[in-house]
Amino acid sequence: IGSVKKGCDFFVKRPWDITLKLCWFLYADLEQDGFSKNPFFHAIIAEVPEQHKSKEGHTKIGYALYFYSYSTWSGRSVYMEDLYVMPEFRGKGIGKALMSKLCVAAGCKQLKFNVLDKNYSAVDFYQRQGCVNITTTIGYHCMRCEGEELQNLAQH
Ligand SMILES: CC(C)(COP(=O)(O)OP(=O)(O)OC[C@H]1O[C@@H](n2cnc3c(N)ncnc32)[C@H](O)[C@@H]1OP(=O)(O)O)[C@@H](O)C(=O)NCCC(=O)NCCS
């Protein structure tokens, strides 16, 4: 949970990100949602030995957070909600290893995730892993409903 919060702090600082400020009030729910009998999400944590801890003293230096989904085209699918590696540990293969472990752990036929178009370095990183932008290739758009609109929808 502490690592996740750290990741959220980082994202919130990014000016082009408006969605992840939600983390501030999601934080209170994370423990319940991730560690209950039927967890809503799973996480893989990257940890380094004590002698390689971060400048701030962290040994948990990255994570991938995911949950299961289903495609009527492909079958079992996994959705990667977050992938994060602390800045001082980047470029060492940790992000790639987290994604790889996630794919093995999930045992699914398809990995899905979203990335902001202005997060150029992450887009490059994902393309390097063989991921495809399905907005440009097949015209899929990412949509959501929340807040008042979601409440209105639920009342119908
Ligand atoms: C994206 C992120 C997880 C990558 O993690 P990382 O540990 O630095 O990446 P790795 O060291 O595992 O890199 C794996 C490969 O991607 C390449 N790569 C890494 N960052 C890259 C970049 N910015 N541009 C292009 N290629 C990149 C590496 O060269 C390496 O290539 P190789 O397999 O051919 O050697 C990390 O930069 C991060 O946490 N960024 C901030 C959070 C974020 O934006 N997450 C994505 C939100 S959707």
Residue 101 within any structural domain of the chain: yes
Decide if 63 contacts 82 (C-beta within 8 A): yes
The torsion defined by the Cα of 134, 97, 88 and 3, in degrees rounded to 10, comes to 90
Backbone angles phi, psi at 79, to 5 degrees: -110, 120
Residue with CA nearest ligand 1 atom 34: 128
CA of 39 to the centre of ligand 1 (A): 28
Residue 52, sorted as left (phi over 0), alpha (psi -120 to 50) or beta, turns out to be: alpha
Residue 16 within any structural domain of the chain: yes
Interatomic CA distance for residues 109 and 50, integer angstroms: 36
Host domain of residue 72: 2-113
CA of 43 to the centre of ligand 1 (A): 18
Is 84 assigned a catalytic role? no
pLDDT in tens, 49-102: 999 999 999 999 999 999 999 999 999 999 999 999 999 999 999 999 999 999
Q: What domain count does the chain have?
A: 1
Residue with tokens 């039927």: 38
Residue 129 within any structural domain of the chain: no
CA of 84 to the centre of ligand 1 (A): 9
Residue 125 within any structural domain of the chain: no
pTM of the model: 0.86
Interatomic CA distance for residues 150 and 82, integer angstroms: 23
The one catalytic residue among 63, 66, 84, 126:
126
pLDDT in tens, 114-128: 999 999 999 999 999
Q: Domain containing 84 — which CATH number?
A: 3.40.630.30
Looking at the DSSP assignment, which residues form a beta bridge with residue 63? Answer: 45, 84
What percent of the chain has pLDDT above 90?
75
